[in-house]
């Protein structure tokens, strides 16, 4: 079965500019768990920028179950494609697998890396946009467009060959404000996830081979959005709204983000 992902500019191509297409073997006889093997092969292909996946053996005896194929594609990859969440370029890959992956980094607290630490047997791909504008959120001034690249997205893939669902942990750069899992199917009438987990520690529940896409929201710490005048203005507004004892939101708590977090924000801001 062919699953075609719309190729964004510069992403999903090899050095010659040819779109990357991957075949997933759904009847891998040497796999400890063919369902886990099928999930990992598909999600890892997306992590490395594949623009098309041919998945063989779906529904055949001792091959990829139809329900597993549905969880991979209908419930995840094709939704991300339809919502244009995979239009960013895979710029970095981090691995804690027990074998080496060409081009992959180790998450060892390296300065400038979005992923600082993570549990064993994980594959994490960082997707970044070539756009130079994004949304900036001020609790008092609302959402504005700023001249800064949008925050990255992370695809987290569990690399275990077998086992049960586990809770995995990732420590991200301290500039990460929150992470929102990209789950739910609006076209089918199911709500997408509107809950952002605050902080730079990410916890996700994954079965062997399973992947999840996370939208990150980042602190806006640049000087032009964190001036003394802005801090004083926030203090005056907080005093008017809540009295002298009110604590203004620290400038570093202003985040730029996508539309999903804006919906989450409206639920938390006092009216």
Comparing C-alpha atoms, which of 157, 125, 196, 155 is closest to residue 40? Answer: 157
pLDDT by residue for the chain (271 residues), tens only, comes to 544 444 333 344 444 455 678 899 999 888 899 999 999 999 999 998 888 899 999 999 999 999 999 999 988 998 888 888 888 888 889 999 998 888 888 988 888 889 999 999 999 999 988 877 777 666 666 777 777 777 889 999 999 999 999 999 999 998 888 898 887 555 554 455 566 778 899 999 999 999 999 989 887 666 655 556 665 665 666 566 556 544 444 444 444 444 444 444 444 433 3
Q: With 0-12 CB in 10 A as exposed, 13-18 as middle and 19+ as buried, what is 184?
A: middle
- Give the integer Cα–Cα distance in Å for 47 and 225: 33
Q: What's the confidence (pLDDT) of residue 61?
A: 93
Q: What's the confidence (pLDDT) of residue 139?
A: 62
Q: What's the confidence (pLDDT) of residue 251?
A: 44
Comparing C-alpha atoms, which of 25, 70, 19, 76 is closest to residue 48? Answer: 19
Is residue 227 situated within a structural domain? no
Is residue 81 situated within a structural domain? yes
Query: What is the number of domains present in the chain?
Result: 1
Going by C-beta distance under 8 Å and a sequence separation of 6 or more, which residues neighbour residue 50? Answer: 5, 12, 20, 21, 22
Comparing C-alpha atoms, which of 72, 156, 171 is closest to residue 122? Answer: 156
Per the DSSP assignment, residues forming a β-bridge with 166 are 206
Q: What's the confidence (pLDDT) of residue 118?
A: 97
Is residue 54 situated within a structural domain? yes
Is residue 74 situated within a structural domain? yes
- Give the integer Cα–Cα distance in Å for 1 and 58: 8
Is residue 37 situated within a structural domain? yes
Do residues 84 and 61 touch, judged by C-beta distance below 8 A?
Answer: no
β 2-4/52-56 pair status: antiparallel
Is residue 212 situated within a structural domain? no
Going by C-beta distance under 8 Å and a sequence separation of 6 or more, which residues neighbour residue 191? Answer: 184
Per the DSSP assignment, residues forming a β-bridge with 212 are 156
Q: Secondary structure of 141-166 in the HEC alphabet?
A: CEEEEECCCCCCEEEEEECCCCCCCE
Task: Tell me the residue range of the domain where 3 lies.
Answer: 1-87
Token look-up 């000087």 returns: 223
Q: What's the confidence (pLDDT) of residue 5?
A: 46
E strands of the chain, at which residues? 2-4, 21-25, 52-56, 89-95, 115-118, 122-128, 134-138, 142-146, 153-158, 166-172, 176-181, 197-198, 201-206, 211-219, 255-256
Do residues 132 and 84 touch, judged by C-beta distance below 8 A?
Answer: no
Q: What's the confidence (pLDDT) of residue 252?
A: 45
Is residue 226 situated within a structural domain? no
Comparing C-alpha atoms, which of 116, 125, 112, 120 is closest to residue 85? Answer: 125
Q: What's the confidence (pLDDT) of residue 126?
A: 93
Q: What's the confidence (pLDDT) of residue 103?
A: 80
Q: What's the confidence (pLDDT) of residue 219?
A: 77
């Amino acid at each position: 079965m062919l699953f075609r992902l719309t190729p964004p500019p510069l992403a999903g191509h090899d050095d010659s500019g040819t779109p990357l297409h991957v075949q997933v073997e759904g009847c891998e006889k040497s796999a400890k768990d063919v369902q886990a093997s099928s999930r990992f092969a598909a999600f890892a292909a997306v992590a490395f920028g594949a623009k098309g996946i041919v998945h063989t053996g779906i529904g055949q005896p001792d091959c990829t179950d139809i329900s597993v194929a549905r969880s991979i594609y209908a419930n995840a990859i094709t939704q991300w494609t339809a919502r244009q969440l995979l239009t960013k370029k895979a710029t970095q890959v981090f691995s804690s697998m027990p074998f080496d992956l060409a081009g992959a980094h180790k998450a060892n607290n390296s300065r400038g890396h979005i992923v600082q630490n993570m549990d064993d047997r994980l594959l994490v791909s960082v997707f970044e946009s070539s756009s130079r504008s994004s949304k900036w959120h001020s609790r008092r001034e609302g959402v504005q467009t700023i001249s800064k690249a949008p925050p990255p997205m992370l695809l987290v893939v569990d690399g275990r060959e077998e086992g049960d669902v586990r809770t995995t942990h990732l420590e991200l750069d301290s500039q990460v404000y929150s992470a929102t899992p990209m789950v739910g199917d609006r076209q089918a009438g199911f709500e997408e996830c509107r809950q952002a987990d605050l902080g730079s520690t990410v916890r996700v529940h994954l079965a062997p081979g399973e992947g999840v896409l996370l939208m990150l929201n980042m602190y806006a710490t640049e000087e032009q959005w964190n001036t003394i005048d802005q801090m004083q203005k926030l203090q005056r507004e907080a005093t008017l709204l809540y009295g002298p004892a009110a604590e203004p939101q620290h400038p570093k708590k202003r985040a730029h983000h996508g539309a999903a977090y804006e919906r989450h924000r409206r639920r938390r801001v006092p009216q």
